[in-house]
Amino acid sequence: MDYTTLGKTGLRVSVAGLGCGGNSRLGMGAGKSMEDAAQVVRKAIELGVNYFDTARNYGTEPAVGAAIKDVPRDSVVISTKSTIKVDGVRYTAAQVLDHLNNSLKQLDTDYIDVYMLHGVAPVDYDYALETLAEPLLKERDKGKFRHLGITETAPRDPTQEMLQRAVHEPCWEVAMLAYHMLNQNARTKLFPHMLEKGVGTLLMFVVRNIFSVPGLLEKTVADLVKNGDLPDDFPNKDDPLGFLVHDGGATTILDAAYRFARHQPGADVVLFGTGNPDHLQSNIDSILKPPLPDADVTMLHDMFGALTTVGLDSPDSMPKPK
Ligand SMILES: NC(=O)c1ccc[n+]([C@@H]2O[C@H](COP(=O)([O-])OP(=O)(O)OC[C@H]3O[C@@H](n4cnc5c(N)ncnc54)[C@H](OP(=O)(O)O)[C@@H]3O)[C@@H](O)[C@H]2O)c1
């Protein structure tokens, strides 16, 4: 495993981080048990992963909590999070602090490494900053968590307006953002500023559905051409990213997706979600490989750099938080 420093938090983290949400939720999204999910976390630890991202909403905090019992607490870095509203109604600060306490219970741990506000839309950012951050920082000072972070809602904020504001606010030490081969907005709009301010970055949507559901990439590109977002003469619509797979390049499109994100300057942890041990291994293998050839990365920048709303699907349904 390769390790890096998560921005100004100083935490040493694996460059491959296990996302315990997304549609997979450690396999629980496909009906696997909590114990199966905990086994995925244990296997990831064996492979050198030390970063685990969960959330109150994912229903996977107990699986993470059970798995990390086997190792010294300070050998793993755990983030979890609370949304800031439900059914259009904002949570009060007291409710968010209840969520924090409940996450400590669900994870069965004394402290959380990174506590994050989850999926904050631009319209709610002022509320997050002015009403929720200070009470949370008081809990941090009591030792309940170490670092405060914030995550965007990619489907509802595709141009990343919220994080373009949050990057300038020192209380958010970590940010989670969407970045992938057909969604490169952050390359110019966020990463340079996050590097400058020392904000630790967690990348999501690196694969999501667009690169894992067969046929979706091809359909997406065909629609982009039809809508005029890509040129009419776009080459090879039946295999739009096939040019990335060659000797000395990527082995598969998924391999390309992980390597493209991992080697983006300013990217700290590439999150990936899975409930499948084979996917766990192959995703880590890809994340640890060298960058894609420069010419391929330049092609991706030139072909897709202007797109902003692609491959940012909303999650399938999540369980009701306990
Ligand atoms: N706003 C937020 O805070 C927010 C939003 C979204 C995500 N996240 C975080 O980011 C993490 C990553 O989520 P994501 O949405 O970017 O998507 P993702 O979890 O990376 O999605 C990958 C999907 O592809 C499948 N997959 C994984 N590896 C594969 C492989 N090698 N071959 C074929 N299929 C593969 C997975 O299912 P299998 O089980 O079949 O492998 C999963 O359904 C989440 O777990 C969560 O921690 C946070």
The predicted-structure confidence for 239-256, as pLDDT tens digits, reads as follows: 999 999 999 999 999 999
In a domain, 220, yes or no: no
Q: Give the chain's residues under pLDDT 50.
A: none
Q: Which atom of ligand 1 is nearest to the CA of 272?
A: 20
Q: Is residue 198 in a domain?
A: yes
Nearest ligand 1 atom to the CA of 178 is: 16
Asked if 112 and 78 count as a contact pair (C-beta separation under 8 A), the reply is yes
DSSP character string of 131-197: IIHHHHHHHHHTTSEEEEEEEE-TTT-TT-HHHHHHTT-TT--EEEEE-BTTB-HHHHHTHHHHHHH
Q: Is the CB of 109 under 6 A from ligand 1?
A: no
Q: How far is CA 86 from CA 90, 161, 310, 320, in A?
A: 6, 21, 26, 11
Distance 142 CA to ligand 1 centre (A): 33
Q: Answer yes or no: is the C-beta of 80 below 6 A from any ligand 1 atom.
A: no
Position 109 scores a pLDDT of 98
What is the rounded (10 degree) CA torsion for 248, 249, 252, 255? 110
Report the SS3 class of residue 243: helix
For residue 82, give the nearest of 73, 68, 69, 93 by alpha carbon.
93
Q: Report the atom number in ligand 1 closest to the C-alpha of 282.
A: 31
On whether residue 117 sits in a domain, the answer given is yes
List of E strands, the chain: 3-5, 12-14, 16-19, 51-53, 77-83, 85-86, 89-90, 112-120, 145-152, 174-178, 200-204, 269-272
Q: What is the 270 CA–ligand 1 centroid distance (Å)?
A: 11
Q: Determine the Cα–Cα distance for residues 200 and 189; give it in Å rounded to an integer.
A: 15
Pocket test for ligand 1, best of 13, 18, 20, 23 (most atoms within 8 A of CB): 23
CB 166 within 8 A of CB 122: no
The rounded Å distance from CA 66 to ligand 1 centre is 21
- Backbone dihedral angles phi then psi of residue 306, each to the nearest 5 degrees: -90, -10
Which tokens belong to 80? 């979890």
Ligand 1 within 6 A of CB of 56: no
CATH number for the domain that contains residue 92 = 3.20.20.100
Task: Work out how many domains the chain is built from and give that number.
Answer: 1
Residue 322: per-residue pLDDT: 66
**Residue written as tokens 């315990």?**
20
Q: Is residue 286 within a helix (H) or strand (E), and if so which, with residue range?
A: helix 277-287
- Is residue 140 assigned to a domain? yes
How many whole angstroms separate alpha carbon 156 and alpha carbon 122? 9
Mutate to test the pocket of ligand 1, among 213, 279, 281, 317 (most ligand atoms within 8 A of CB): 279
| CB within 8 Å of 74: residues ≥ 6 apart | none
60-101 residue pLDDT tens: 999 999 999 989 999 999 999 999 999 999 999 999 999 999
For residue 111, which of 103, 121, 123, 119 has the smallest C-alpha distance?
103
Taking CA atoms, 150 is separated from 121, 161, 194, 228, 243, in Å, by 11, 13, 13, 34, 36
- The pLDDT assigned to 282 comes to 98
Confirm whether 11 is domain-assigned: yes
Determine, yes or no, domain membership for 147.
yes
How many whole angstroms from 188 Cα to the centroid of ligand 1? Answer: 24
| Nearest CA, atom 10, ligand 1 | 204
Whose structure tokens read 């390359």? 187
Q: Would you say the CB of residue 205 lies under 6 angstroms from ligand 1?
A: yes
From the CB of 206, is ligand 1 less than 6 Å away?
Answer: yes
DSSP code of residue 34: H
Helix/strand/coil for 93: helix
What residues make up the domain containing 32? 3-214+255-297
The CA distances from residue 190 to 80, 204, 207, 276, in Å, are 22, 14, 19, 32
